[in-house]
Amino acid sequence: MNARTTFPVGLENLAEIWVYLSATPLFGLTLTLVAYVLADAIYQRTNKFPLANPVLIAVTIIISVLTLSGTRYEAYFQGAQFVHFLLGTATVALAIPLARLWKELSERAIPLLVAMFAGATVSVAVAIGVARMLDAPPQMVASLLPKSVTAPIAMGIAEQIGGSPTLAAVFALSTGILGALIATPLLNALGVRDWSQRGFAVGVAAHGIGTARAYSVNPRAGAYASLGMGLHALLGALLLPWVAKLLL
């Protein structure tokens, strides 16, 4: 009897699939899709419980698989970059619900801009305050400064002001996940019931991940969250380099 017949057929098939995928870019793509499908299933089974955020669960699954299998991130990203490419398309698609609410948004332009400036200012103040209390080096402060701006823009800002794009991406991702986790219970505790207010606050504070969370809860909240994310990204790209020169 050879070694091949000592294993169940199902395990043999899984082993063959693993060997094939791990040697091709399909590994990263397959892992990303499977991880998110599992994470979303858990999210739905828990009745969309905030702490069961699918992004957090999917990231945990991917990191665990890469660590246990000894797979380098570069090898994983060869396949995952196909999903990464679609982020641009998904971001542009956020303009569709905004177009449908354009009349309403234009009428509320001044309150929304004031709220956005207030949120952006608090974000910068918290980043600087925490960094100073921890006596963080200048590069860490520069990387933390754009934490509430969507990750791709945060990386560009961090590089421009002397920070680390990698750290900026980590801080932005962590901020988005944390914002998505605590947004619902926090806004409930504060008595904020209006979906437009809830969505806009989440979009400004927690960018893309928070916006995805808002869309899963209410379409109106999602539309306002995408507006908040877009305005904060634009404001951050224009003003944060100047703010960094003054504060750092």
* Pairwise CA distance, residues 231 & 43, whole Å: 29
Contacts of 142 (CB under 8 A, 6+ apart): 158, 161, 162, 163, 164, 244, 248
Residue 30 has pLDDT above 90, yes or no: no
Tell me: do 76 and 125 sit in the same domain: no
In a 10 Å sphere around its CB, with 0-12 CB exposed, 13-18 middle and 19+ buried, how is residue 203 labelled?
Answer: buried
Structure tokens at 103: 């009349």
What is the model's pTM? 0.76
pLDDT at 128: 87
Among 68, 93, 118, the domain boundary falls at 93
Q: Which of 190, 193, 171 is nearest to 182 (CA)?
A: 190
Tell me: do 59 and 104 sit in the same domain: no
Let me know: does 34 contact 17? Beta carbons within 8 Å.
no
Among 93, 110, 131, the domain boundary falls at 93
pLDDT band, very low/low/confident/very high, at 7 (cuts 50, 70, 90) = very low
pLDDT at 53: 84
CA atoms within 13 A on the CB side of 80: 16
Among 63, 93, 123, the domain boundary falls at 93
Higher pLDDT, 105 or 10: 105
Higher pLDDT, 98 or 241: 241
Residue 23 has pLDDT above 60, yes or no: no
For 179-205, the pLDDT digits (tens) are 888 988 899 999 999 999 999 999 999
3-state secondary structure of 48: coil
Which percentage of the chain shows pLDDT scores above 90? 32
Using only C-alpha atoms, what is the Rg of the chain? 21
Contacts of 185 (CB under 8 A, 6+ apart): 50
Tell me: do 199 and 235 sit in the same domain: yes
Q: Tokens 């995805």 correspond to what residue?
A: 212
Tell me: do 123 and 220 sit in the same domain: yes
Distances in Å between the alpha carbon of 102 and those of 43, 96, 223, 231?
32, 10, 11, 14
Domain that holds residue 22: 3-93
Structure tokens at 168: 């900026």
CA atoms within 13 A on the CB side of 85: 7
pLDDT at 9: 45
Tally of domains within the chain: 2
Tell me: do 8 and 122 sit in the same domain: no
Tell me: do 64 and 166 sit in the same domain: no
Q: Where are the alpha helices (DSSP H) in 190-218?
A: 195-217
Q: Which of 94, 97, 99, 65 is nearest to 79 (CA)?
A: 65
